[in-house]
Amino acid sequence: MSKDYTPLYQELGMDIEKHNELLAALGEIYPEFYLKQENRPKAMEYFDYVMSEIHGKRIEELMEKKKEGKPLVGTFCIFVPEEIIVGADGACYGLCGGAEFSIADAERDLPRNICPLIKSAYGFKVQRTCPYTQASDFIYGETSCEAKKKTWEILNEIHPTHVMHIPQMKREKEKELWKSEIYDFKKHIESIIGRELTFEELKKGIEIINKKREAMQRLDKLRGMYPDVVPISGKDGLLINQISFYDDPERFTQKVNELCDELEERIKNKVSVVPKDTPRIMVIGTPMAPPNWKLHHIVETTGGVIINEEACIGHRYYKDNIDTQWAENVDDLMERMLERYMKIDCACFTPNEGRIDKIIKMYKEREADGIIYYSLSFCHTYNVESKKVIDRLQAENIPILRIESDYSMEDMGQIKTRVEAFLESISFKKNVKFKGF
Ligand code: BJ8
């Protein structure tokens, strides 16, 4: 980091010693997983810089907002309508939840056999080592899964936590429920800023986030839609998806577009980060919060490349925009927002066939070679849904590997062996020699 942020951490009531331990642990992984990659696009320098300052400069920026009375909202789910917060000139960000570092502390209060994402996030609050959590006025949780919704009750005892009721079906009556939830959410944000949001403010919030999603859609196409060239690694693609939940949205949009300009040049000049015939893999399933880079690192150091993440830290987050055309008032905008958010195809919905149709379409459009179904341990919704997804993929003759894992590094060798066999079988099927890296 560019300077000593200890006074800032003290202001946030953090456990400085423990936080130093966390930074030291992260400081070892990043150079190993990221900076050793060869032939990275120049524009990745910005994203490396963001990572180096993720607990520094960005926190300073957020605290400036807070001092101006703008809301800071921490979230764990892409159902929270960030457009409303951005319309109020506040900040909405994802909370740390991808590290093993905080799990032992969480397990003093929570069962061991629940998803690591929840335990990691809860543990960061217990430890007071996540500056984003510490800075937030409140956290918005949701009812997408059993473990989450019960954890929010416990989390609320140590940090203000509100809960949105996410419908689990998509019938008209659930749409009505969701409508009342997003109106309540808007009212809550308005109570923080002390007035109602105007049409112009809400529209501006929507447009800022639309532009961010458009930049990410552009990046997604450049990553995966050119079968003879992969201009950026999957690890870097994942990193950008993760940073989208932390960075200032307008600056992030500009930097992603600059990166995309460079990638277009690379595609024109056939500059690929991997050799010809490298198996092109899509990863589908549960979100990978930073610093969960394990699977991508394994695949990309074993002889494959990841071209897309069908996950909430990935395609599910940016695939749909809110259409503001012809909207004349706040209710019109809220209606469009409702429509957009009901398109999220999280496994918490039943039925959820649309997700499977989409995966097959994405696979064919990208001329991918195989799919890895990734699920965090004890995530029942995605784990159970994998049966239906895999049945359909097998019926389409799509090579598929199912991986269930947590944040520990202990199973890396075992996963690598399985990934290697999977990549080899793909190469064999394509009748090309598997090179491995
Ligand atoms: S919209 S995927 S962000 S709920 S992995 S905590 S589901 S046990 S994260 Fe999610 Fe919203 Fe759905 Fe997306 Fe529970 Fe599963 Fe853990 Fe999960």
Cβ of 134 below 6 Å from ligand 1: no
For the chain, what is the radius of gyration of the CA atoms?
21
* Predicted pLDDT of residue 154: 98
Residue 92, φ and ψ in degrees, nearest 5 = -120, 130
Q: How far apart are the first and last CA of the chain?
A: 32
Predicted confidence at residue 433, as pLDDT, reads 79
| Mean pLDDT (whole number) for 265-292 | 97
Cβ 77 under 6 angstroms from ligand 1: yes
* Nearest CA owner, ligand 1 atom 12: 346
3-class DSSP assignment, residue 139: strand
CB 241 within 8 A of CB 250: no
Exposed, middle or buried: residue 37 (CB in 10 Å: 0-12, 13-18, 19+)? Answer: middle
Across the range 5-32, mean pLDDT stands at: 95
> Shortest CA distance to 135 belongs to which of 241, 5, 48?
5
Burial group, residue 83, by CB count within 10 angstroms (0-12, 13-18, 19+): buried
* High-pLDDT (> 70) share of the chain, %: 100
| Ligand 1 contact via 116 beta carbon (within 6 Å) | no
**Token reading at 314:** 């990935």
Q: How far apart are CA 429 and CA 66, in angstroms?
A: 56
Cα dist from 2 to 53, 56, 57, 379, whole Å: 7, 8, 8, 38
Give the type of residue at 262: E
pLDDT band at 385 (very low <50, low <70, confident <90, very high): very high
CA 80 to ligand 1 centroid distance, Å: 12
For the Cβ of 135 lying below 6 angstroms from any atom of ligand 1, the answer is no
At 339, is the secondary structure helix, strand, or coil?
helix
Nearest CA to ligand 1 atom 1: 346
Per-residue pLDDT, 177:
96
Contact 32, 297 (CB under 8 A): no
pLDDT tens digits, 295-337: 999 999 999 999 999 999 999 999 999 999 999 999 999 999 9
pLDDT computed for residue 431 by the predictor: 79
Question: pLDDT digits over 78-113, tens only?
Answer: 999 999 999 999 999 999 899 999 999 999 999 999
Ligand 1 nearest atom to the CA of residue 116, by list position: 16
| Residue whose CA is at the smallest distance from ligand 1 atom 13 | 312
Average pLDDT of the chain to the nearest whole number: 96
Query: What distance in Å separates the CA atoms of residue 122 and residue 156, rounded to the nearest whole number?
Result: 10
Tens digits of per-residue pLDDT, 110-130? Answer: 999 999 999 999 999 999 999
Mutate to test the pocket of ligand 1, among 381, 403, 404, 406 (most ligand atoms within 8 A of CB): 381
pLDDT in tens, 165-201: 999 999 999 999 999 999 999 999 999 999 999 999 9
pLDDT at 436 > cutoff 80: no
Whether the CA torsion 102, 105, 108, 112 is positive or negative: it is positive
Q: Which tokens sit at 251?
A: 């600056």
Interatomic CA distance for residues 336 and 29, integer angstroms: 42
Q: How far is ligand 1, taken at its centre, from the CA of residue 437, in Å?
A: 33
Is the pLDDT assigned to residue 151 strictly greater than 90?
yes
Ligand 1 pocket check for 287: Cβ under 6 Å: yes
Task: Render pLDDT for 222-261 as a digit per residue (tens, 0 to 9).
Answer: 999 999 999 999 999 999 999 999 999 999 999 999 999 9
